Each structure stands twice: as structure tokens, then as C-alpha cells.
């Protein structure tokens, strides 16, 4: 069962867009996720620091919201971060969540627009252009990556 770690700003809408455009790319993500029925979502976005998981789930369609199973911990709350991950905040948070939920051995993918939050050449990163967010073309590529996990 693959885990998809999900950022919002720069992924589900363009970075620095007007709030009226927030989540304009969500239909693309939901279409992808529906085609990978065993995929579960974990929120990595900084939105998790200001909103409850229940409030975050309200942004998704009911069927996809049911697959949002949690949020990653904050980097400041982590103990024993492996040395290779110390400088890569979001990847460290993903690994911590995986370890805490006995999923460290399962495939995962992170959708993000900020490569510096992950180690260089991280094979589990699906990079999105923050100026556009998740486009239909990128959605097709994401679907392929998820199916091949």
C-alpha cells in the first residue's frame, strides 16, 4: 500500500496565488488518487500546523478525504533524526511518520515543489513546478509513478 505525502502550496495551487485559487489543482490529484485505490495520503504541508486534520480533510472530496490518514510531525518535535536527513526537513518528517506507523518498508512518494526539503536525487520525490501546481500532464506522470511503486 503506497503512501503519498502531500504538500499544498505550489502543488494543489500555484505558490503565492490569491486565496480564490487555493486548491484549484485538487481535482487533478483526486483523479490520480482514485485510480490507485490502495494509496493513502499523509499531509506534509505547513497548513497542518494551522489547521486540524479534520479541517484539512474538509477540503477534499468525501471519498478522497477518507484516505487522508494523517499529518507528518514537525521537524522540531523529532528526536533521533538520522544524520543524512538532518538538513532535509520534509524528508526527515516523512521518514519519521513512516517509522512511527510501521511503514518504513513500504513504498512512498512525496509530491512537493521544494526540492531542497529532500536529499538530492531523492527517488521518492515527485517534483512539481510551484508556479503552476499539479497540472494534468504532471497528474498523468504522478499516476504512472504511483502505479510503479
Output the pTM of the full model.
Answer: 0.95
Q: What is the DSSP letter of 100?
A: H
Fold for domain 3-147?
Rossmann fold (3.40.50)
Q: What is the DSSP letter of 84?
A: G
Q: What's the whole-number average pLDDT of the chain?
A: 96
**In the chain, where the domains are located:** 3-147
Backbone angles phi, psi at 63, to 5 degrees: -65, -35
What is the reported pLDDT for 36? 97
Residue identified by cell 518528517 is 93
**Grid cell for residue 112:** 512537493
What is the reported pLDDT for 77? 87
Nearest to 43 by CA among 82, 1, 94: 94
d(CA 51, CA 33) in angstroms, rounded, equals 22
3-state secondary structure of 47: helix
Banded pLDDT at 149 (limits 50, 70, 90): very high
The answer, yes or no, to whether residue 78 has pLDDT greater than 90, is no
Quick check: 90 and 118 in contact, CB under 8 A?
Answer: yes
What is the reported pLDDT for 28? 98
Taking residues 81-107, report their average pLDDT: 94
Taking residues 126-148, report their average pLDDT: 97
Please report the sign of the dihedral spanned by the C-alpha atoms of residue 46, residue 52, residue 58, residue 63: positive
Taking residues 118-144, report their average pLDDT: 97
3-state secondary structure of 5: strand
**Grid cell for residue 41:** 495520503
Amino acid at each position: 500500500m503506497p503512501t503519498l505525502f502531500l504538500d499544498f502550496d505550489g502543488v494543489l495551487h500555484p505558490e503565492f496565488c490569491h486565496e480564490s485559487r487555493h486548491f484549484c489543482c485538487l481535482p487533478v490529484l483526486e483523479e490520480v488518487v482514485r485510480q490507485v485505490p490502495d494509496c493513502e495520503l499523509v499531509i506534509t504541508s505547513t497548513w497542518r500546523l494551522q489547521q486540524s486534520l479534520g479541517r484539512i480533510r474538509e477540503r477534499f472530496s468525501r471519498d478522497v478525504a477518507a484516505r487522508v490518514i494523517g499529518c507528518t510531525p514537525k521537524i522540531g518535535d523529532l528526536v533521533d533524526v538520522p544524520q543524512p536527513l538532518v538538513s532535509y526537513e520534509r524528508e526527515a518528517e516523512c521518514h519519521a511518520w513512516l517509522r512511527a506507523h510501521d511503514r518504513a518498508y513500504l513504498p512512498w512518494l512525496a509530491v512537493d515543489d521544494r526540492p531542497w526539503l529532500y536529499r538530492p536525487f531523492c527517488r521518492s520525490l515527485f517534483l512539481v513546478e510551484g508556479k503552476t501546481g499539479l497540472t494534468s500532464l504532471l497528474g498523468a506522470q504522478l499516476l504512472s509513478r504511483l502505479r510503479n511503486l
